[in-house]
Chain A
Amino acid sequence: MNAVLAEEAQRRAQRLTKALLWGSGAAAVLWFTAAQIGLNPAALVRGVPFMLDFFGRMFPPDLAHLALLRDATIETVQIAVWGTVIAILLSIPLAILGARNTAPHFFVFHLVRLVLNALRSINELVFALIFVAAVGLGPFAGVLAIALHATGMLAKFCAEEIEGVDRGPVEAMQATGAGRLQVILFGIVPQVVPAFVSYAVYRFDVSIRAATILGLVGAGGLGFSLIKTMKLFQYHQTATCILVIFVLVLVSDWLCARIRARIL
C-alpha cells in the first residue's frame, strides 16, 4: 500500500514538474510572440464600438442588391467547379508518379513530391495574383489558381493513399503476370477511389470558399463586389454580399457532406 502511494506521489510530482516546465515554456513563447505582433486586448475593447457601428451600418442588408450578385455567384461556383475538375485530372497521374510504390524512378518520385509541396504551400490567392498579371483579369486566372493549389493537395493526399494500399490484391495481380501499369490500374487505383473521390469533394468545398475571395485580386467571383462595396462605403450592399457568401458556403458544405456520406 505505502509503496504504491509513494510511487503515486512521485509520479504526480514528476507530472507536475513536466507540466510546469512545458507550461512556462509555452507561456514564454506566447508572451514573446504576443509582443511581436502587438497583441492588444485593450485595443480590441476600444475597437468594439467601432465594430458595432460597422455592423449597424450593414443592417439591414440591401436585398435589392441580390439581383446584381447573381452573375458573380454563378461565376464563383463555375470557378470552383473547373478548378476542382482540372485538379482531379492533373492529380491522378501526379499521384501515381509521386507515390513510393508506383513511381517509376526514385528521382521522379522526389521531383514530383517537391513540385506538389510547392503547389500546396502557395495560397490560391498568391497564384491568382501572379496569373492575373500573366493572363489578365477575370475568372480564367481564378480557375488556374484554384486548380494548381488543389492539385498539390489532392495529389499528395492520393499519393499517401496509394502508399497505404493493401498489398494483398497487388501481389495477387503481379502473380498473374500483369504488367506494371496494369497492376497500378487494376490493383491499386480501385482501392483508393472512394477516399480520393471523398477528398476531391472536400477540396471542392474548400475551393468554393477560396473562390469567394479571389475577386479581391481581380480573379473573378463575389470577392470583387465585396471589396468594391466596402471601399465605396456601401455597407448595406456589403452585408448582402456577405450573406450570399455565407449561404453559398453553407449549401456547398451540406451538399458535400451528403455526397461524401454516400460514398463512404
Chain B
Amino acid sequence: MILRIKGLSKVYPGGTQALSSVDIDVPAGQFLVILGPSGAGKSTLMRCINRLVEPTSGQIVFESKEITGPGRDLRATRRQFGMVFQQFNLVKRLSVLTNVLTGRLGYRSVLRSLVYSFPEGDKRIAIECLARVNMERKAFQRADTLSGGEQQRVAIARALAQEPKVILADEPVASLDPKIARQVLTYLRQVAKELGITVLCNLHQVDYAREFGERIVGMSRGSVVFDGAASDLSDQVLRKIYYEQAA
C-alpha cells in the first residue's frame, strides 16, 4: 500500500463537515477514481493529502511514513504528489517549458530559481515530460495561447516533472468537451502506467469513471459509500452516491 488514509475528517471553521472519517487504502500503481457529485468532499480529500488543506483529525500514511501532524517537511511531501487541477492553473504569461519546469522548483534551491535559471538536468526532464504528452512542439509558446486540452496536458507534464509517486487529479476534465476530455484522461492513464505512478482521479462523470477507473471509490456528503470495481457500479450504488438526501 503506497497510501493509507485512516479516519480522515475535516470540519471547516463555519461548521461544515466536509469529510467524515474516510478510510481508503491505495496500492501502488493503481488508477483510482473518486466518484461523486460536487460537495461530496472529493476536492477536500485530495487537498488534505498534499496538505493544501489541514485535516481536522485522522491519519495519512504515505510509503509507511505518517505525513499528517505538525512538523512534517511540507516541501518534501508535496514533491511526491503531483496535482492536476480543473482550471489547469498554468502561469499564463510564462512559456510552456517554463511552466513544466516549475514542477522542479521543489527540488531547487530558492536563490538560483529566483533568477529563472534551471540546471540542464531539469530541462531534460521537463522536455521529456512534455514529449510524453506530445506537447514538446509547443515548448516555447506562451501558455495562454494553447487550447484547454493542450493546457491540461502541459499541466500533466508539470506534475510529471516532479517525478512524483502519486498524481492527484482534481476534476481534470470538467472544463473540457468530451472528445478532448477522453484524450486527456487517456494520456493520464497511459503515462501513469508507463512510469508506475499511482493516480487518484476525482471525477463526477459516471461514464469516464467506468471507462478509466480500475477501482472506484464513491463519495457522498463527506463519506465513502462505495469501494469496488467499475463493474460493481450498479444503479443502486449510483443512487446512493448521487441522490441520497439527508438521512
Contacts and interface: CB of A to CB of B under 8 A. Distances in A.
Query: Do A and B form a real pair?
Result: yes
Interface of A: 1, 4-5, 7-8, 11
Interface string B110-141: 00000000001001100110010000100110
B139 A8 contact: yes
A1 B131 CA distance: 8
B120 to A, nearest CB: 8
B166 interface: no
B8 interface: no
A157 B139 CA distance: 41
Interface of A is mostly: helix
Contact of B124 (A5, A7, A11): A5
Contacts of A11: 140
Q: For A1, A4, A7, which residue has the most chain B Cβ atoms within 10 angstroms?
A: A4
Interface residues of B, number: 10
Interface string B199-221: 00000000000000000000000
B97 interface: yes
Contacts of A4: 127, 136, 139
Given A1-B128, A1-B131, A7 B123 contact: no
Nearest to A4: B127
Contacts of B128: 1
Nearest to A15: B116
A8 B116 CA distance: 13
Contacts of A7: 139-140
A11 B123 CA distance: 14
A20 to B, nearest CB: 14
B153 to A, nearest CB: 16
A5 B136 CA distance: 11
A1 B140 contact: no
A11 B124 CA distance: 16
A11 B127 CA distance: 15
Contacts of B140: 7-8, 11
Interface in B86-121: 97, 120
Nearest to B137: A4
B116 to A, nearest CB: 10
